[in-house]
Amino acid sequence: MSQNPECLKKSIITPIPKKGGSKDYYDGFRPVSKLPILAKVIEHLVLKRLNSFLEDQSGLHAQQFGFRRGRSTTSAQIIRFHIKMRDKPWWLWLLIVVVVGLAKAHLHMIRLVILLAVGLGGMYMLHILAQDFNKIRKGWPFPQRPGRLLGVSSGIFKRSTDEVERNNEVEMQKQLLTARLANETREFPNILRNDPIGCARKYVCHISGRTRAKLTSTQSNVLTLLRTFQWLDTSGEWARAEQLGKQKAKEGACESAYAKCFYTGAQLEKFMSLF
């Protein structure tokens, strides 16, 4: 059984004055303990390894929030509100979205907060980023559209003498994405964080089973955005949603996989068109 060395348990305690507190008494200070750097590094590595194991093995309860990636206490409150409102008539939700859709552009944060409360925050962010991305990608300098070089439209690449050159082009494309689409690159991971009940993923799953000819321009932009930024999809959530939609969307797999989001695929499409 492993043990933590005594030397790593020793810390330097520094008293920090509390705001408005008296410096004449001990309760007017807040003690701050400083552990050795090595102890903090080891602690971080162990915690990261343990959390990763628990997440992979489903060792944490689905309703456990706080100190978990993508499952903050804010997410818990959103889901709680969502459950309370689940039995409300659908037209009430539609009315809320319509009102939000009519809000002025400078009320972006207010709109996002309201949509988060009804479970549609991730979809709203997905719509905004896809819209901005579409305006920029039309002037793409590479011979191929973004996404194709990143390997999302042609499956597994065959090894060839041009592989090194292709890899260099991929890296160049990533650098260009980061430089020209700094906001999209920075905000992309936040889409998933603002989708605690899976409505955005359910929407992606729902539209992925269609042929390109049957996709609306908004739907096509969303899928192109996700495929282009797939290298930022470290959890694989968006790739799984798209793959599930391609294979089993007609069998109701999207409804089952994202059951926490009680909106139907058709309703999500309607909401997306109102943003």
pLDDT digits (tens, 9 = 90+) for 103-118: 544 455 566 666 666 6
Q: Determine the structural domain holding residue 229 and report its residue range.
A: 121-274
Residue 155 has pLDDT above 50, yes or no: no
pTM: 0.51
For the chain, strand residue ranges (E) read 12-17, 29-34
Of 27-41, 60-74, 173-187, give the lowest mean pLDDT range. 173-187
Mean of the per-residue pLDDT values for the chain?
72
Co-location of 256 and 159 in the same domain: yes
Within a domain: 109: no
Co-location of 144 and 15 in the same domain: no
Within a domain: 88: no
Co-location of 240 and 125 in the same domain: yes
Which has more confidence, 92 or 68? 68
The pLDDT of residue 50 is 84
Categorize the per-residue pLDDT at 249 as very low, low, confident or very high, splitting at 50, 70 and 90.
Answer: confident
Within a domain: 257: yes
CA–CA dist 103, 112 (Å, integer) = 11
Co-location of 11 and 132 in the same domain: no
Co-location of 129 and 41 in the same domain: no
Give the pLDDT confidence of 176-226 residue by residue, as tens digits.
665 555 556 677 788 888 888 888 999 999 998 888 888 888 888 889 888
Co-location of 148 and 48 in the same domain: no
% of the chain with per-residue pLDDT over 70: 59
The pLDDT of residue 232 is 79
Co-location of 170 and 250 in the same domain: yes
Which residues, at least 6 apart from 220, have a Cβ–Cβ distance to it below 8 Å?
A: 212
Instruction: Name the residue type at position 178.
Output: T
Co-location of 126 and 48 in the same domain: no
Co-location of 137 and 256 in the same domain: yes
Co-location of 134 and 259 in the same domain: yes
Task: Tell me the average pLDDT across 14-42.
Answer: 83
Within a domain: 81: no
Please work out, in degrees rounded to the nearest 5, the angle formed at the alpha carbon of residue 47 by the alpha carbons of 41 and 48: 90
CA–CA dist 42, 142 (Å, integer) = 44
Q: How many residues does the chain have?
A: 275
The pLDDT of residue 188 is 77
- Are the C-beta atoms of residues 111 and 96 closer than 8 Å to each other? no
Within a domain: 65: no
Number of domains in the chain: 2
Token pair for residue 116? 């988060």
Within a domain: 260: yes
Co-location of 260 and 151 in the same domain: yes
Q: Distance between terminal CA atoms of the chain?
A: 56
Report CA-CA distances (Å) from 2 to 5, 37, 45, 47. 9, 20, 15, 15
Instruction: Name the residue type at position 25.
Output: Y
Co-location of 143 and 42 in the same domain: no
